[in-house]
Amino acid sequence: MDYNIDYFIKKFEAIPEKMWITLNRGALGTPRCALGHCYNGVNGHAEEEALSKLFIENGLTYIEGLNYESDKKYYIRPGKGPAVALINNGMIHEYQQPTPKQRILAALYDIKKATQPKEVVREKTVYVAVPITLNKQARELLTFN
């Protein structure tokens, strides 16, 4: 399975707001956090790891030294973990949307925008001949001797 940015956006958009919570992965069939929604008991932790890797590769990691003790259990490696849980829980300044779902989707859309190829805009000069009637003063100014 290719767990890419579009996969996670589509997956999380389909989950109703009422099925999102903070500070807890939840059990199957109950409200869950973003990482909890990635674990379904079938694919092991592959989705969780793919989401975490996506965040890490795009610079969304938590800062070592700050007090995130209650959330450290959500990370792959202490000090280098993704900010998935922190964003879900509203603990990252840049992501203060009202619900965990909206915060996670905002981060995913930021990642998608940052990884899209930049469109090159090239200006083109077009010369157009437009027939006009010049008054006497304009004709005198444009007459070259």
User: Each residue of 68-113: pLDDT tens digit?
Assistant: 444 444 443 444 456 888 899 888 888 899 999 999 999 999 999 9
Sorted by where each begins, the domain ranges of the chain are 5-142
Give the torsion through C-alpha atoms of 24, 28, 31, 36, to 10 deg: 40
List alpha helices for the chain, DSSP H: 5-13, 34-37, 46-57, 84-88, 100-115, 136-142
* Residue 45 pLDDT: 78
Q: What is the mean pLDDT of the chain?
A: 79
Q: Is 67's pLDDT higher than 80?
A: no
- Is the model more confident about 15 or about 94? 15
Q: For residue 78, what is the DSSP state? A: T
How does residue 66 score in pLDDT terms, banded at 50, 70 and 90? very low
Beta pairing partners, 61: 82
Task: Give this prediction's pTM.
Answer: 0.70
Residues 20, 55: Cα–Cα separation, whole Å: 19
Answer for the pair 85, 33: CB distance below 8 angstroms, yes or no: yes
Q: Is the confidence at residue 57, as pLDDT, over 70? A: yes
pLDDT of res. 77: 41
Q: Is the confidence at residue 62, as pLDDT, over 80?
A: no
